[in-house]
Amino acid sequence: MSELIIREASPADADAICAIYNPYIEYTTVSFEEQPVSAASMVERIAKVQVLGLPWLVAETEDGELIGYAYATRWRERSAYRYAVESSIYLRQAAVGQGLGKLLYRELLARLGSMNIHTVISGVAQPNDASNRLHEAFNFSKVAHYQQVGRKFGRWLDMVYWQLLLNTPQEAACN
């Protein structure tokens, strides 16, 4: 595969992001959404993340094919949560298992670490061995396992939450 380019998402990426994400909605239990997302809605989602100063990254090949994306959103709205984010990552199915998710996630976590973010939380619908292994590879700790919290395709689904404490140089300023 050609070299991977990781950059900030732009509104022009919305169609390609939907092409990656919508199959997860339509054919898997990875996402608890049940209706495909339009490009216009994806543009709004990207803007909502970026206006907060948080990263929404895309990974593309040298020839411009978007193969994945990762982003962080605020964990909760109240101000005391301002040092905590929730991360998400999605890859084209053909790109899964090639180590590309690790490259993309590593960049997301590095950017979050440089932004005074203290903790990263990630929810993973179960079963999802690939995502569980990805979080374990980055030393996330499994902090919760909620049983039967979602229902999709006629079955109940569990959710596992992973947490990573980042070593931020600005930690003293958090007190």
The first and second tokens of residue 159, run together, are 């959710």
Give the C-alpha separation, 145 to 104, whole Å: 25
Give the C-alpha separation, 129 to 139, whole Å: 15
Q: What strands lie across the sheet with 66-74, from one edge to the other?
A: 4-8, 56-61, 66-74, 84-91, 119-126, 155-165, 141-152
* The model's pTM: 0.91
Which of the four pLDDT bands, split at 50, 70 and 90, describes residue 2? low
Contact between 24 and 30 (Cβ < 8 Å): yes
Ramachandran category for residue 160: left, alpha or beta (phi over 0 → left; psi -120 to 50 → alpha): beta
Which of the four pLDDT bands, split at 50, 70 and 90, describes residue 28? very high
Which of the four pLDDT bands, split at 50, 70 and 90, describes residue 173? very low
Q: Mean of the pLDDT values across residues 19-30?
A: 97
Which CA distances in Å does 143 have to 54, 64, 162, 163? 24, 37, 6, 7
- 174 vs 137, residue with greater confidence: 137
Residue 118 amino acid letter: H
Bridge partners of residue 76, in order along the sequence = none
**What's 162's DSSP letter?**
E
pLDDT tens-digit profile of 77-126? 999 999 999 999 999 987 887 888 899 999 999 999 999 899 999 999 99
End-to-end CA distance of the chain: give it in Å, rounded. Answer: 45
Query: Which domains does the chain carry?
Result: 4-174 (3.40.630.30)
pLDDT of residue 98: 82
pLDDT tens-digit profile of 45-81? 999 999 999 999 999 999 999 999 999 999 999 999 9
pLDDT tens-digit profile of 163-172? 999 974 444 3
pLDDT of residue 167: 73
